[in-house]
Chains A and B, each alone.
Chain A
Amino acid sequence: MSTQESYVTEDGRTIGPTVMEMKNITLRFGGVKAITDISFDIREGEIRAIIGPNGAGKSSMLNVISGFYVPQEGEVWYKGAKRPPMKPYEVAQQGIARTFQNIALFEGMTVLDNVMTGRMRQMNAGLLSQAIWMGKAQQEEVENREFVEKIIDFLEIQAIRKTPVGRLPYGLKKRVELARALAAEPSILLLDEPMAGMNVEEKEDMSRFILDMNDEFGTTIALIEHDMGVVMDLSDRVVVMDYGKKIGDGTPDEVRNNQAVIDAYLGVAHD
């Protein structure tokens, strides 16, 4: 499955070697098995989707990747090394950023400030310098603001730059969250249901942003999504989960023709 040679996709993007590999992950909450013995990999520059019906364990999987949950069994390999159990912030420091299913922004702060928080990892000025805002702190702020402005331009949210996030409609909040994640210059971006609750037009916009992000910044993207149409159009490879198990893995076409996947989605009697 995880060959190491780079290849070029039909639409001209280069997919590199594996950057992250999940090996036989099992996650339990008490007696409940949320994830059972799942293995898959994410390659550099690809858009990797995790799909499955409600309760299949998709979000749990994403939380394992982001370090929020520590699996009882199995190993997470990142950039060729086995990752020890980590706190989420340590994972973030390694270059893995995420968005949340139920939006986690600072409601009272402006869009600009929210996106700036995504640059935390790039700010190293000392406390004193920060407090009097001179020297390194000032220089850092200018540099980071410039980067953030490029993201704002990229996601076309200039008009709401100074608007408090609490006043924004849902679709725009999602976009702001994406901006914040992108501001961290992640090597892997995890998107938890980026299109949930959006209308067709918003979904189209979001899809375009995801594709452009991947294209423009070369960001590796792992996303969870319910909307099958969107997933099949966007992704290079898809992992399908059902009841905590992996039931399919491959290109959208392979997955689409996989009998187990069809059964899971259309429903068959479970003996």
Chain B
Amino acid sequence: MGNVQEKVDREVLIRTLEGEESFRRFQPAAAGEWEEYILAQSSQATGGLASVPALLQRNATLYADKDAYREKEFGIWQRWTWAETEKEIEALALGLINLGVEEGDFVAIIGRNRPYFYWSMVAAQSVGAVPVPVYNDSAAEEMEYILGHCGAKYAIVEDQEQVDKIIEIQEHLHQFKHMIYIDPRGLRKYDHHALHEFSHIQNQGRAAYDEWITDLQERRAKLTYDSTCVMLYTSGTTGKPKGVVLSNRNVIESAKNSSEFDNLGAGEEILAYLPMAWVGDFIFSIGQAYWTGFCVNCPESPDTMMTDLREIGPTYYFAPPRVFETQLTNVMIRMEDAGPLKRRMFRYFMDLAKKVGPNILDGKPVGGMDKLKYKLGEFFVYGPLKDTLGFGRVRVGYTAGEAIGPEIFEFYRSLGINLKQLYGQTEATVFITAQPDGEVRADTVGVPSPDVEIKIADNGEIFYRSPGTFVEYYNNPESTASTKDAEGWVATGDAGFFEEGSGHLRIIDRAKDVGKMADGSMFAPKYVENKLKFYPDILEAVLFGNGKENCVAFINIDLTAVGNWAERNNIAYASYQELAGHPKVLDSIQSHVETVNKSVAADPMLAGCQIHRFLVLHKELDADDGEMTRTRKVRRVIVADKFKDLVDALYDGSTTVSTETEVTYEDGRKGSIKATLELRDAAVVSTAAKVAAE
């Protein structure tokens, strides 16, 4: 009780300092009442909680001694409570003011998920600047575009690698002033005129407390629901990245609605491992974390992510389908190497789980015997497996970004992991639709999220309007106007439809990718590609055929899965290229293609998209070569252009083709690889025959 009163006193003090009368009048009687009051205040989005820094102030009082951040470093989970976090951010914010950061300045933030970078974002917001997180694996010229486009004057970066990149492009960035780095290693000898160590900036901030604290408080008080919260550059499947401006309203309302949708509370644990420049990470690790007060855990290094996941055991988890796929592939590979007893047990209980697991998860009736056996399975197989994967405590799990294979999706659900799908984009501050508990399926993306309105245009394109709808594309009124209309409806660029009965949304493809075949039937490449990608040995597929008589495809094998298969079958190979061209690999891919053709033919609307000819590419499609976005979506146009000779060869009927491809190494150097590829025909189901059969 005394503790609560203390907290209240402190809060009143803070608010008084900030000149907010409303807080002084409130004298709470009990802890619950106080919490209720705070939440009531926030849901009305009053002046006090109209920004992320304001939420931080609330959390520092309400959850003072609760962990806000953890990061594994030196083998130990280092922790910061909300009260400590507030102090760290304040010191940094004062340091930024001391350095000369002004309201409205853009501050680029470049690094992997670490508490320091999350603090940097909130500190930037506190001083009225706009944080711009940038993908840390971007090449220097990509960074140059983004930093030049927003006119960033400051950058907070991780280490020597990022510092070197910025120095390389600095002469083209006339507005650029100062850079702050976290890890001093290797940087001691650098010219420190415009280069500062993170901890020094914080120390300077602490030292200049008296000088700048009033300034900081004034700046913080000026933040409103309509101030810019963050600017995120969309990866852009076409053209240059665009800076999406999100306001505090966008972020806080979306965080609030989505937290309520899944009953997220202060007790959740998440692992922050997805790129900080991606809107999802911003919403989970800042939006929802600050709204609900839950704890954000940062892995030790990208390589230790799986171990860290296991140690933390998050209760709320997000991953793109690729991560789930990789994990499943690893489980299957390791099971192949297990002893016969373990293998039999695994198979038996997985079959059972497949049958009854999803129903048990959805709370549907299941026979008593099956229930008992499932319990036994939980003890012997599911429990230990979930624990190994780090999913032992997951209460809400999401996947989004791409379609997930039904088998993969069912696998996790059958284990009792509440994995769901959502559909969203940067411009919507993530949430457009999501699956409510108990209504989860692999082929839909759920119902509209709270406060989101959706309409579908005649051509199938999905439009939405919500409190999360972005403000604008920075410095790009044309793109803003062509995406968001006067009434606030935003074009997603995706084609889809609402399923009758369930009211769930189903996505077909990117609206602009949906085309027409020469005979006028529908061409929906992604629909077919996804079916191919559901095979573990196919990593990527690219379908061509818009405006043509028939379709052809490029296929990328998955090195882990195919490599393991090769090892078990005594197939020797020296390189990715050699394995990709192996006749037995081609045979197996061909059989997948033919199975997919049968499945595609079953849908009369899309029967024209069957694959007539295909080839297996000699290199993996890669973001460094511009063939994919940083979030690993295929850039269709660029691939078609770069491998034009291969597409032509697929259409002109030749059986082999020699080609040379330029590749970019991670350090930016270029090289080239030569290959002779075999082109194969795949059996197709004749649609005419099918009509006749029916």
Contact = CB atoms under 8 A, between A and B. Distances in A.
Interface of A: 11-13, 145-146, 149-150, 152-154, 156, 158-159, 161, 208, 211-212, 215-216
Contacts of B301: 156, 158-159
A261 B272 CA distance: 55
B111 to A, nearest CB: 15
Interface in B281-321: 300-301, 303-304, 307
B186 A215 contact: yes
Contact of B189 (A150, A208, A215): A215
B185 A158 contact: no
Given A152-B75, A153-B73, A153-B74, A158 B189 contact: no
Nearest to B306: A159
7 contacts: A12-B189, A149-B74, A156-B301, A161-B75, A208-B186, A212-B186, A216-B185
A159 B304 contact: yes
Interface in B173-190: 185-186, 188-189
B409 to A, nearest CB: 29
Interface of B: 73-76, 185-186, 188-189, 300-301, 303-304, 307
User: Which applies to chain B's interface (DSSP): helix, strand, loop or mixed?
Assistant: loop
Contacts of A12: 188-189
Given A149-B76, A152-B75, A154-B185, 15 more contacts: A12-B188, A12-B189, A13-B189, A145-B75, A149-B74, A153-B73, A153-B74, A158-B75, A158-B301, A158-B304, A159-B301, A159-B304, A159-B307, A212-B185, A216-B185
A11 B189 contact: yes
Contacts of B76: 149
Name the residue in A12, A153, A212, A216 with the highest tally of chain B Cβ atoms < 10 Å from its Cβ: A153
Nearest to B300: A158
Contacts of B74: 146, 149-150, 152-153
Residue from the set A11, A156, A158 with the largest chain B CB neighbour count within 10 Å: A158
Top-7 shortest CB links A-B = A159-B303, A149-B74, A12-B189, A149-B75, A159-B304, A158-B300, A158-B301
B302 to A, nearest CB: 9
Nearest to B666: A201
A63 B304 CA distance: 38
Contacts of B73: 153
Given A156-B301, A158-B304, A159-B301, A215 B75 contact: no
Contacts of A208: 186
Nearest to B186: A212
A12 B185 CA distance: 15
Nearest to B76: A149
A158 to B, nearest CB: 5
A154 B160 CA distance: 13
Contacts of B185: 154, 212, 216
Contacts of A150: 74
Nearest to A153: B74
A223 B301 CA distance: 30
A215 B307 contact: no
Contacts of B300: 158-159
A138 B444 CA distance: 56
Contacts of B189: 11-13, 215
Nearest to B74: A149
Nearest to B73: A153
A161 B307 CA distance: 11
A159 B305 CA distance: 9
Nearest to B72: A158
A11 B189 CA distance: 7
B574 to A, nearest CB: 15
Nearest to A9: B189
A266 B185 CA distance: 39
Nearest to A12: B189
A247 B544 CA distance: 66
Nearest to B302: A159
A216 B188 CA distance: 8
Contacts of A146: 74
A161 B189 CA distance: 30
A211 B73 CA distance: 23
A47 to B, nearest CB: 15
Nearest to A208: B186
A36 B189 CA distance: 40
A146 B300 CA distance: 15
B265 to A, nearest CB: 31
Contacts of A212: 185-186
A243 B186 CA distance: 38
Contacts of A152: 74-75
Contacts of A153: 73-74
A171 B64 CA distance: 46
Nearest to B665: A201
A216 B301 CA distance: 21
Nearest to A159: B303
A4 B448 CA distance: 77
A11 B74 CA distance: 30
A211 B189 CA distance: 12
A153 B114 CA distance: 15
A212 to B, nearest CB: 5
A140 B114 CA distance: 30
A212 B161 CA distance: 13
Contacts of A156: 301
A12 B192 CA distance: 13
Contacts of B307: 159
B303 A215 contact: no
Contacts of B186: 208, 211-212, 215-216
A185 to B, nearest CB: 17
B669 to A, nearest CB: 11
B624 to A, nearest CB: 15
The residue in B73, B74, B189, B303 that gathers the most chain A C-beta atoms within 10 A of its C-beta is B74
Contacts of B188: 12, 215-216
A183 to B, nearest CB: 14
Nearest to A13: B189
Nearest to A149: B74
A159 B304 CA distance: 5
B647 to A, nearest CB: 33
Contacts of B304: 158-159
A154 to B, nearest CB: 7
A208 B76 CA distance: 26
A149 B186 CA distance: 19
A146 B76 CA distance: 10
Nearest to B183: A153
B611 to A, nearest CB: 37
A14 B535 CA distance: 59
A97 B551 CA distance: 65
A212 B304 CA distance: 23
B186 to A, nearest CB: 5
Contacts of B75: 145, 149, 152, 158, 161
A208 B74 CA distance: 21
